């Protein structure tokens, strides 16, 4: 496994490579969800291809300094996990390596990022788009894999690739969950024991609404109330949003018509200062979990 700290050297190496390159962009603190993305990358490019991972806690996408300061950074452990997962190339830049002191170009998406996490976290998706664009350039990757848990991020990255004609295939990977249903996230490690024990109610609330939807409930208020009643029983959870949105354009859905497409019931909330997100897709034929 090759470890790079310098963007320029990595870019030159990748430009001279004839291999098919698949990138797994991460902010480190790797868990089984990331490992699933890495294994999918290997499946994509085969034994002769190049599986590349970035470990970079991107300051530009954090709206709260507290969150950035406390984001876990177990670099040695992450490198060991990459080695064990047979990753070929890892990039571990510092913020100074990624951003020139007077950097002044930002990639901003102006439609899908207005809703949900974009509304609660000003500048977050501009930070994501900018760093992902830079990583695509540095790695010269043919494809990149993202977790479906961050479905708004995924939709925005797909939009960026479409609108800027980027030659990168975007692959999504299903959310990996703990046995009690909690979506895996690097932030879970920061939950206190009480909060960790309470957190599976997020998935329980979302699946309650999904089950009702699958049984024919089409009243948006009733669906929301079912999920809300489970969320609100928590003595700890501070809800940021619970929103039903259109899967395509992420606009708020107030009524569900029989002919409509898929919807996403999306949640974000805080346990103390730890922000968690999750969602379910509601589709007439849904079997996906």
**What residues pair up with 145 in beta bridges, in sequence order?**
171
Clarify whether 142 is annotated catalytic: no
Q: How far is the CB of 155 from ligand PAF (least distance, A)?
A: 13
- Point out the catalytic residue in the list 34, 142, 173, 195: 34
Nearer to ligand PAF by Cβ, of 34 and 210: the residue is 34
CB of 144: closest distance to ligand PAF in angstroms?
Answer: 9
Query: Which of 26, 113, 140, 188 lies at the binding interface for ligand PAF (CB under 6 A)?
Result: 26
Shortest Cβ 132–ligand PAF spacing (Å): 6
As measured in angstroms, the least distance from the Cβ of 101 to ligand PAF is 20
Say whether 286 sits in a helix, a strand or coil: coil
- Interface with ligand PAF, residue 188, by CB under 6 A: no
Number of residues lying near ligand PAF (CB under 6 A): 10
CA dist., res. 49 & res. 34, Å (int) = 19
Q: Which of 10, 25, 142, 206 binds ligand PAF (CB under 6 A)?
A: 25
Q: Compute the distance between CA of residue 230 and CA of residue 205 in angstroms, rounded to an integer.
A: 5
Nearer Cβ to ligand PAF (162/225): 162
Sign (positive or negative) of CA dihedral 171, 23, 267, 184: positive
Of residues 265, 217, 213, 262, the one with CA closest to residue 242? 265
Q: Which of 22, 85, 131, 183 binds ligand PAF (CB under 6 A)?
A: 131
- Rg of the chain on CA atoms, in Å: 19
The residue with tokens 């790079």 is 4
Measured CA to CA, the distance from residue 166 to residue 168 in angstroms comes to 6
Which class for 219: exposed (0-12), middle (13-18), buried (19 or more C-beta within 10 A)? exposed
151 vs 267 by CB, closer to ligand PAF: 151
144 binding ligand PAF? (CB under 6 A): no
Task: Provide, rounded to whole angstroms, the least separation between the CB of residue 131 and ligand PAF.
Answer: 5
d(CA 77, CA 102): 32
Taking the least distance from each CB to ligand PAF, the nearer of 147 and 230 is 147
Residues facing 245 on adjacent strands: 252, 264
- Among 14, 58, 118, 139, indicate the residue that binds ligand PAF (CB under 6 A): 58
Residue with the two structure tokens 């064990």: 84
Residue 77 in tokens: 């452990």
Q: Which residues are near ligand PAF by CB under 6 A?
A: 25-27, 58, 61, 128, 131-132, 150, 153
State the catalytic residues. Answer: 34
């Amino acid at each position: 496994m090759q470890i790079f700290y310098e963007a320029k050297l990595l870019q030159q190496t990748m430009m001279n490579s004839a291999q098919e390159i698949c990138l797994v962009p991460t902010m480190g603190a790797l868990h089984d969800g990331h490992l699933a993305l890495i294994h999918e990358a290997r499946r994509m490019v085969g034994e002769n291809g190049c599986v590349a991972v970035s470990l970079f806690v991107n300051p530009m996408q954090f709206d709260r300094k507290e969150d950035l300061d406390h984001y876990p950074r177990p670099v040695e452990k992450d490198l060991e996990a990459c080695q064990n997962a047979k990753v070929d190339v890892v990039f571990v830049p510092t913020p100074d390596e990624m951003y020139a002191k007077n950097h002044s170009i930002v990639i901003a998406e102006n439609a899908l990022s207005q809703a949900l996490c974009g509304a609660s976290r000003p500048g977050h998706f501009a930070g994501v788009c900018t760093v992902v664009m830079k990583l695509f350039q540095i790695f010269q990757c043919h494809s990149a894999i993202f977790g479906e848990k961050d479905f708004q991020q995924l939709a925005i990255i797909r939009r960026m690739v479409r609108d800027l004609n980027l030659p990168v295939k975007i692959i999504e990977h299903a959310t990996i969950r703990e046995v009690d249903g909690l979506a895996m996230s690097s932030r879970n490690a920061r939950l206190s024991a009480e909060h960790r024990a309470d957190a599976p109610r997020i998935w329980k609330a979302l699946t309650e609404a999904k089950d009702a939807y699958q049984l024919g409930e089409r009243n948006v208020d009733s669906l929301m109330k079912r999920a809300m009643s489970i969320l609100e029983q928590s003595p700890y959870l501070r809800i940021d949003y619970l929103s039903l949105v259109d899967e395509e354009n992420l606009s708020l859905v107030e009524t569900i018509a029989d002919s409509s497409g898929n919807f996403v019931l999306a949640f974000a909330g805080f346990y103390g200062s730890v922000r968690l997100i999750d969602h379910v897709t509601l589709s007439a034929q849904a079997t996906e979990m």
